[in-house]
């Protein structure tokens, strides 16, 4: 008897984070971290449910839910095993549906909906395989991995054959690197000290704590007021000393020349990178900023809409650091494309995380990258924010400023039932109290 995907349900889950100013930055003063949260059920009788989500920051999470619901008819009734065996094929079906495609194409709410559904299916696939997603991916053959990727619009920068070459070159060391990863984890940096809404005292205290906790890189939000930034970055440098990297994040606040000018005022504090100095769409703008402020690095990508943008950022030499996000582009499949593009161009991937559940998801992608794609952790760090992990069934585990490799089967995406009930919008107790 063949097994079937029997149901997709989507819920509007919101955490009232704006009450504490956690997550405040120059563009996002009062986010309520939210998830349009998907559960995919089957009739397989093994209790495995696939979980995934799109991350938003409050208003509009209901639009995101509506977009995911528009994908439900494409999923319900599919044969379970064939679907999980060919997630590359399903990805193409969802993304190339011509009517839904018009609403992007391949960007915004509809693309994030694809991400939620595809990631939930990866969670389901990994649970059924009894492996964490990073390991499931890292044990696939190069041919299976490239089949996940839609090379449409990529072939002027990366062909299927070139991708195969990259993956085959990394094959011999896989077992050794997986063992190293399980023993030592993957390096992280922390954004916890640097939110704009925090006082200088809180910034200093959290920066000091970050160093004690073993982090070798911290990140500060900048871009609202130059004098404040000079004071805050100097304070952070004084607290952490010269050996700790300080990354800065402007969250898209500036135009091109103002970004250059502002950063020149902060260069004396030796910042490691500036993140999102301008519009995430502005490939040429990032390239101009990068040329002007080197050796300070330019990082971007958390709002990168799809692989076509990442391709161009790399072609234009517009960035030093590729910041993939687990839930904005079309899920695992498109991020495999982004990892392969970054490897082709030799640019390190340092994922965006934080929010709700983004750390849980994206760690799997960096670990897959280390084991089976780039084969290195050099100059690579995953963002870490110490926030909302208690809501997850399989939360990230940190030790000495490093992510420990997940060992539980799945994508670490599942939220506790109690947390869902508490934070369902608008009728959960967190919102009616």
- Catalytic center residues: 221, 352
Q: How far is the CB of 211 from its own copies (least distance, A)?
A: 31
The CA distances from residue 320 to 46, 272, 283, 296, 323, in Å, are 44, 11, 13, 9, 10
- Strands (E) located in 310-400: 321-322, 382-384, 398-399
Contact 328, 303 (CB under 8 A): yes
Two tokens at 144? 């299976």
Whichever of 8 and 240 has its CB closer to its own copies, that residue is: 8
The CA distances from residue 117 to 5, 49, 331, 339, 404, in Å, are 12, 12, 8, 20, 26
Q: How far is the CB of 193 from its own copies (least distance, A)?
A: 22
Whichever of 107 and 177 has its CB closer to its own copies, that residue is: 107
Whichever of 106 and 320 has its CB closer to its own copies, that residue is: 106
Contact 154, 210 (CB under 8 A): no
User: How many other β-carbons are positioned within 10 Å of the β-carbon of residue 266?
Assistant: 22
Two tokens at 126? 């990994």
User: How many other β-carbons are positioned within 10 Å of the β-carbon of residue 20?
Assistant: 11
Separation between Cα atoms, residue 328 and residue 113, nearest integer Å: 9
Two tokens at 394? 């399989």
Q: How far is the CB of 88 from its own copies (least distance, A)?
A: 17
Q: How far is the CB of 304 from its own copies (least distance, A)?
A: 10
Separation between Cα atoms, residue 365 and residue 53, nearest integer Å: 16
Whichever of 131 and 290 has its CB closer to its own copies, that residue is: 290
Q: Residues in the chain, how many?
A: 433
Element (H, E) at 167: helix 160-170
Q: How far is the CB of 170 from its own copies (least distance, A)?
A: 25
Q: How far is the CB of 216 from its own copies (least distance, A)?
A: 30
CA angle, 259 then 262 then 268, to 5°? 125
User: How many other β-carbons are positioned within 10 Å of the β-carbon of residue 264?
Assistant: 12
**What is the binding site for its own copies (CB under 8 A)?**
27-32, 56-60, 62-64, 66-67, 70, 97-112, 152-156, 252, 255-258, 278-285, 288, 303, 305-306, 308-309, 311-312, 315-316
The three-state secondary structure class of 251 is coil
Kindly state the DSSP code that residue 274 receives in the 8-state scheme. E
From the list 134, 118, 122, the residue with the least C-alpha distance to 54 is 118
Whichever of 218 and 347 has its CB closer to its own copies, that residue is: 347
Whichever of 116 and 210 has its CB closer to its own copies, that residue is: 116
Whichever of 208 and 255 has its CB closer to its own copies, that residue is: 255
Q: How far is the CB of 351 from its own copies (least distance, A)?
A: 17
The three-state secondary structure class of 232 is helix
């Amino acid at each position: 008897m063949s097994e079937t995907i029997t149901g997709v349900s989507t819920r509007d889950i919101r955490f009232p984070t704006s009450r504490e100013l956690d997550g405040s930055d120059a563009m996002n003063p009062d986010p309520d971290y939210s998830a349009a949260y998907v559960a995919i059920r089957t009739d397989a009788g093994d209790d495995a449910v696939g979980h995934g989500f799109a991350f938003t920051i409050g208003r509009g999470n209901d639009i995101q839910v509506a977009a995911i619901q528009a994908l439900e008819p494409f999923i319900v009734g599919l044969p379970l095993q064939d679907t999980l065996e060919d997630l590359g094929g399903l990805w193409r079906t969802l993304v190339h549906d011509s009517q839904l495609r018009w609403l992007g194409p391949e960007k915004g709410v509809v693309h994030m909906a694809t991400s939620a559904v595809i990631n939930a299916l990866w969670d389901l696939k990994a649970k059924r395989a009894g492996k964490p997603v990073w390991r499931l991916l890292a044990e696939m053959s190069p041919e299976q991995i490239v089949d996940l990727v839609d090379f449409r619009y990529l072939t002027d920068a990366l062909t299927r054959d070139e991708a195969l070459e990259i993956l085959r070159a990394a094959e011999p060391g896989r077992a050794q690197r997986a063992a190293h990863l399980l023993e030592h984890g993957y390096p992280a940096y922390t954004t916890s000290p640097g939110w704009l809404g925090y006082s200088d005292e809180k910034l200093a205290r959290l920066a000091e704590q970050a160093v004690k906790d073993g982090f070798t890189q911290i990140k500060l939000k900048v871009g609202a007021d130059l004098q404040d930034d000079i004071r805050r970055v100097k304070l952070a440098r004084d607290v952490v000393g010269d050996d700790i990297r300080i990354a800065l994040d402007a969250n898209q606040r500036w135009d091109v020349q103002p970004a250059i000018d502002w950063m020149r005022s902060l260069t004396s504090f030796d910042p490691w990178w500036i993140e999102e100095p301008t519009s995430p769409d502005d490939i040429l703008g990032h390239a101009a900023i990068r040329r002007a402020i080197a050796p300070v690095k330019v990082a971007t990508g958390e709002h990168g809409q799809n692989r076509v943008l990442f391709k161009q950022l790399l072609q234009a030499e517009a960035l030093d650091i590729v910041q993939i996000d687990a839930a904005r582009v079309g899920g695992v499949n498109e991020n495999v494309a982004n990892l392969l593009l970054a490897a082709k161009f030799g640019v390190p991937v340092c994922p965006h995380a934080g929010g709700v559940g983004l750390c849980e998801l994206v760690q799997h992608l960096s670990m897959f990258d280390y084991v089976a794609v780039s084969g290195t952790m050099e100059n690579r760090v995953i963002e870490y924010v110490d926030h909302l992990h208690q809501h997850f069934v399989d939360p990230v585990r940190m030790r000495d400023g490093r992510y420990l490799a997940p060992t539980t089967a799945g994508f670490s995406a599942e939220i506790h039932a109690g947390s869902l009930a508490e934070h369902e919008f608008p009728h959960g107790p967190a919102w009616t109290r």
